[in-house]
Amino acid sequence: MSDHVANAYLFSGRAGSFLHVAGRYFAAAVNCQNKTQEGPCCDCTVCRSIEQNTGVHFVEFASEKIGVDAVRQWQELVRYSHENGRLFVSISWAEGFSTEAANAFLKTLEEPPSGVTFILLTRQPWSVLSTIQSRCQHLVFPVLTGTIDKEETLTFPYLSIESLKSMSLLDRLAWVQELAKDKIQAKTVLGLWLDELWKNRGSESYSQAIEQVIENISQMKYNLNLRLHLENLVMRILV
């Protein structure tokens, strides 16, 4: 596994996809002293040190705003070689880089220190600067079964964007009538759509659809006529 480890990853997923856990597990899977085909042992000194965040093989940074000072701190940390395994630096809220911080970090990504892997975590991959994204391997994490909050469970059949596209306008509107009955459900569906659109990004129509969905989500904080807005969205999206 360690032979194929990249210098930078972008882990994205919605709430409930446990990106932090995935980062730790990855660090353990690479560094574990007793690893098997099934993965790390979760019991050796290395696995335990990763679990306890002692900073030898795994360091975690979590700040909603990432300034240039933080980036300098990481650069200092990774300056020294890591001969006893690979150091993983986990960075939450990857969408929060200031311009200055992003520029400084790009220099690190362009000449990555050996033995170090950065893992950027985000719930909003569409907000992560494209210059940073292009230097990371992007892994999209699904929501794990059984970890969705109760209020996120839909009480009516979910329709993906793909299935929506093949439906008549009347059927779309009938479905929206159900969707609009509950704001939280509507938000959940729009979040799932964003994931789906994001995986197919690249074409102009999908980029436009991403913008439309984001606009709709951000409007939800106002006391608007939800049904009207959602109707408007499903009539315009990808047609």
Residues that bind Zn ion in the complex, under the rule CB under 5 A:
32, 40-41, 44, 47
Least separation in angstroms between CB 28 and Zn ion: 6
Closer by beta carbon to Zn ion, 49 or else 124: 49
Burial of 209 (C-beta count, 10 Å sphere; 0-12/13-18/19+): buried
The half-sphere exposure of 53 on its side-chain side, counting CA atoms within 13 A, is 9
Angle between helices 169-179 and 226-236 (to 10 degrees): 150
Closer by beta carbon to Zn ion, 34 or else 134: 34
Alpha helix segments (H runs only) across the chain: 19-31, 45-51, 68-77, 99-110, 130-133, 161-165, 169-179, 183-199, 204-219, 226-236
Q: Residue for token digits 């790009």?
A: 106
Least separation in angstroms between CB 33 and Zn ion: 5
Residues 6+ apart with CB under 8 A from 111: none
Least separation in angstroms between CB 35 and Zn ion: 6
Residue type, 118: F
Alpha-carbon dihedral 92, 2, 139, 27, rounded to 10 degrees: -30
Least separation in angstroms between CB 102 and Zn ion: 35
Closer by beta carbon to Zn ion, 51 or else 178: 51
Least separation in angstroms between CB 32 and Zn ion: 3
